[in-house]
Amino acid sequence: MSADIQRFDFNGNQLRALTDEQGEPWFVAKDVCDILEIRTDTVRKILENDEAAKVNPNSIGVAQNGGRSPLIVSEPGLYKLIMRSRKPAAKTFQRWVTHEVLPQIRKTGGYIPVGESPEETMARALLIAQKTLDQQKQQLEEQAPKVLFADAVATSKRSILIGELAKILKQNGYDTGQTRFFKTLREDGYLMKRNGSPNMPTQKSMNLGLFEVKETAIQHSDGHTTVNFTTKVTPKGQQYLIQKYLGCTPLEVGA
């Protein structure tokens, strides 16, 4: 649970919110109950176990009388409490939460209430901006290995075996193996399925320039010769399939 408490003002009543590890909002039950004129001790009777929880008051800076752990409610729990309220302002409160508070929380991680001084607004805006930059930095750091890998493949000049590509994809986060990757390519229409040529490229993938077929003549001891066919992934095919299965940044792939 995030330690960042967001404080909103609804007609002079405080509403405190925080987000969990998945970025979903939770609200301090006492604040909700005060606004809706519902007894706090009935919250557990109204809500399911996954709609209400207690949180460490020291970790988020919110404590009830006696230092007890405060009760918080999820977004679905909040709506359920609103439905139970007989207060005429309940519908107004619901519209305010859904149209102003939640969109701002999900968009920026914070809320700038009306009535703040310019200095307070600026300070809050800077905190929100810094949080957004930190999130973008983390995303770029997580994507960096894949982007570097994609750039390296883009300069590749040689064709490789399908098994080699499967191994490279696995090393870069795509859960597959050689046999499974062959099956995936067949299911996705890049390799033939019919008996006798199960791993030969389809016409579709050949038109795209994804594969090439290498012929190898084998001389047997009895004097006869056979030809083996090996499907290899072209540099263009490597870029195409990496973009498809790894979700890297867009690569320059022709028709």
Q: Is the dihedral of CA 234, 238, 243, 245 positive or negative?
A: positive
Query: In this structure, are residues 251 and 149 in contact, taking their beta carbons and an 8 Å threshold?
Result: no
pLDDT at res. 254: 35
pLDDT at res. 232: 93
How far, in Å, CA of 125 to CA of 8, rounded? Answer: 15
H-type helices in the chain, by residue range?
Answer: 29-36, 43-46, 57-60, 75-84, 90-96, 102-108, 118-154, 162-171, 178-187, 203-208, 235-246
pLDDT at res. 140: 55
Query: In this structure, are residues 73 and 81 in contact, taking their beta carbons and an 8 Å threshold?
Result: yes
Q: Which residue is it, tokens 């409160």?
A: 93
* pLDDT digit string, tens, across residues 172-200: 788 899 999 999 999 999 998 876 566 89
* Per-residue confidence band for 129, with pLDDT thresholds at 50, 70 and 90: low
Q: In this structure, how many other beta carbons lie within 10 angstroms of the beta carbon of residue 103?
A: 12
- Secondary structure (DSSP) of 198-247: TTSBPHHHHHHT-EEEEEEEEE-TTS-EEEEEEEEE-HHHHHHHHHHHH-
3-state secondary structure of 254: coil
